[in-house]
Amino acid sequence: MRSAKDFFRPLAAGAPQPLREITVRPSRMIHFFPAANEKMRSKVPDMAAQVDVLLANLEDGVPASDKEAARDGLVEVGKAWSATDTQLWTRVNSLDSPWALDDLTAAVTEIGDKLDVIMIPKVEGPEDIHYVDRLLAQLEARAGLEKPLMVHAILETAQGVARVEEICGASPRMQGLSLGPADLAANRRMKTTRVGGGHPGYLVREDPDADDAEAPRATFQQDLWHYTISRMVDACVMHGILPYYGPFGDIADTTACEDQFRNAYLLGCVGAWSLHPAQIPIAKKVFSPDPADVAHAQRVIEAMGDGTGAVMLDGKMEDDASVKQCRVIVDLAQELSARDPELAELYGFEGAAS
């Protein structure tokens, strides 16, 4: 492990200076497209206009026979990339695969100036991040890049979850984490075949009626991912990086997708993956604060003056802590409004979009 004094030192001669803080930009949805697919690539300008982050996927979901084509597709998209507001990310193949080294080399040396974040799957511990950190520094130096690439890790093994705090703090490049519910379920030997979301068998049942043991008893489905997401959020906040819900595989079930995304939003996540165009507006809606919540938060902030003490508002106590909660909502609304004039208008933020 590097000492505190060395933590922000470049890891290769000629590599750019690591950043002390991550640049926070709207990333309500990380929209995945298979980079090997020519038809999908032709939609990139249109997709880029609709999403906060567009991600060229090279890993799972891309057949082994298309891995080189996907890498070439990423380079083609990167070279043509001109969107200024939308971020371009890629997910490379896992570090133990035959493709990861060439993926990283091509991404950094061919289009490193266009890419914002590289997503690394199946991260097991800080040693994976240390390896990527050094390699990226070497490649950045070779490519003459001036800005360091950021790294996003997917939490999709039990070991990764157990070492999540170490992963988050492993490098100044760490930008965030996503939940990988499919691989994580497999690795943990969970008995669900779904990609994210709940399971009807994971429930609690109300107690039997004392007078009628045969009376029907209500059941309440529980969230399979509550523990992991909560742990991920704490680890990310501890290290000043961003947590994301990952994919929701039941594309047709837009209602459950919205619920799952909202649970993640309420617990502290900043965004989720969209795998299909139908999921883009869901993520946009869920991860943008509700205008009524923004208006309420503004009232509390105003009522609290310098932010200290306690007041009553609509029969509820507000104090130093609740005003901080309200600032979370208003700050997020302002951040998103700076990019989205429609939202600015919805929130009544005059001039926020300028």
Binding site for ligand ACO (CB under 6 A): 32-34, 39-40, 43, 47, 57, 60-61, 182, 195, 247, 275-277
Q: 159-178 burial, b for 16+ CB within 10 Å, e for fewer? A: ebbebbebbbbbbbbbbbbb
Cβ–Cβ contacts within 10 Å for residue 95, how many?
Answer: 18
Q: Which does 276 bind (CB under 5 to 8 A by kind): Mg ion, ligand CC(=O)C(=O)O, ligand ACO, none?
A: ligand ACO
Decide if residue 247 touches Mg ion (CB under 5 A). no
Q: Could you give the CA distance from residue 272 to residue 283 in angstroms, rounded to a whole number? A: 7
182-211 binders of ligand CC(=O)C(=O)O (CB under 6 A)? 182-183
Q: Which does 275 bind (CB under 5 to 8 A by kind): ligand ACO, ligand CC(=O)C(=O)O, Mg ion, none?
A: ligand ACO
Decide if residue 124 touches Mg ion (CB under 5 A). no
Residue nearest to ligand ACO (CB): 61
Q: Please answer whether residues 36 and 62 qualify as being in contact, where contact means their C-beta atoms are separated by less than 8 angstroms.
A: yes
What are the structure tokens assigned to 242, written together? Answer: 């961003």
| Binder of ligand CC(=O)C(=O)O out of 246, 260, 275, 279 (CB under 6 A) | 246
Alpha-carbon dihedral angle through residues 120, 121, 125, 131, given to the nearest 10 degrees: -40
Q: Using CB under 6 A, which of the segments 96-104, 106-114, 174-182, 282-290 binds ligand CC(=O)C(=O)O? A: 174-182
What are the structure tokens assigned to 22, written together? Answer: 């991550």
Residue with tokens 């695969």: 97
Decide if residue 156 touches ligand CC(=O)C(=O)O (CB under 6 A). yes
- Between 136 and 154, whose beta carbon lies closer to ligand CC(=O)C(=O)O? 154
Q: Please answer whether residues 86 and 48 qualify as being in contact, where contact means their C-beta atoms are separated by less than 8 angstroms.
A: yes
Residues in the chain: 354
How many helical (H) and strand (E) elements, i.e. helices and strands, does the chain have?
14, 12
Q: Could you give the CA distance from residue 313 to residue 328 in angstroms, rounded to a whole number? A: 19
Q: Using CB under 6 A, which of the segments 95-103, 145-153, 175-183, 342-350 binds ligand CC(=O)C(=O)O? A: 175-183
What are the structure tokens assigned to 317, written together? Answer: 């106590």
58-77 binders of ligand CC(=O)C(=O)O (CB under 6 A)? 60
- On the 0-12 / 13-18 / 19+ scale of CB atoms within 10 A, 20 is exposed
340 is in an annotated binding site: no
Q: Could you give the CA distance from residue 38 to residue 276 in angstroms, rounded to a whole number? A: 16
Cβ–Cβ contacts within 10 Å for residue 46, how many?
Answer: 9
Q: Which does 61 bind (CB under 5 to 8 A by kind): ligand CC(=O)C(=O)O, Mg ion, ligand ACO, none?
A: ligand ACO
217 is in an annotated binding site: no
38 is in an annotated binding site: no
Task: Kindly calculate the radius of gyration of the chain based on its CA atoms and give it in whole angstroms.
Answer: 22
Decide if residue 181 touches ligand CC(=O)C(=O)O (CB under 6 A). yes
Q: Which does 277 bind (CB under 5 to 8 A by kind): Mg ion, ligand CC(=O)C(=O)O, ligand ACO, none?
A: ligand ACO
Positions that interact with Mg ion (CB under 5 A): 156, 180, 183
Positions that interact with ligand CC(=O)C(=O)O (CB under 6 A): 60, 121, 154, 156, 180-183, 246-247
